[in-house]
Amino acid sequence: MGLGLKELLEKTASWPEEDQAELAEAAAEIEARRTGRYIMTDAERAAVNNGLQQVQRGEFASDIEMQSFWKRFGVA
């Protein structure tokens, strides 16, 4: 039998910062699934605001750029 949740969480305090961030992200996704609410991180909020500012400036990807994007990911 593995570690209990309390013991495991105590061990995470010594993990590298990037591993702790990964755990926090996974926990946030579980919480969002359980509650039906997702709370954006500051980085996500900044990315959304940046995208909205690009739209306000009329900056859009061309059809050719989008075709290339979809092709790169095997969708088109």
Q: What is the pLDDT of residues 18-54, one digit of tens each?
A: 999 999 999 999 999 999 998 888 999 999 999 999 9
Query: Domain map of the chain by residue range?
Result: 5-35, 42-72
Query: What is the per-residue pLDDT for 62?
Result: 92
Query: What is the per-residue pLDDT for 2?
Result: 81
Residue type, position 20, single letter: Q
32 touches 38 (CB < 8 A): yes
Tokens standing for residue 9: 């969480």
Q: What is the pLDDT of residues 46-59, one digit of tens each?
A: 999 999 999 999 99
Query: What is the per-residue pLDDT for 1?
Result: 61
Q: What is the dihedral of CA 33, 38, 42, 47, to 10 degrees?
A: 100
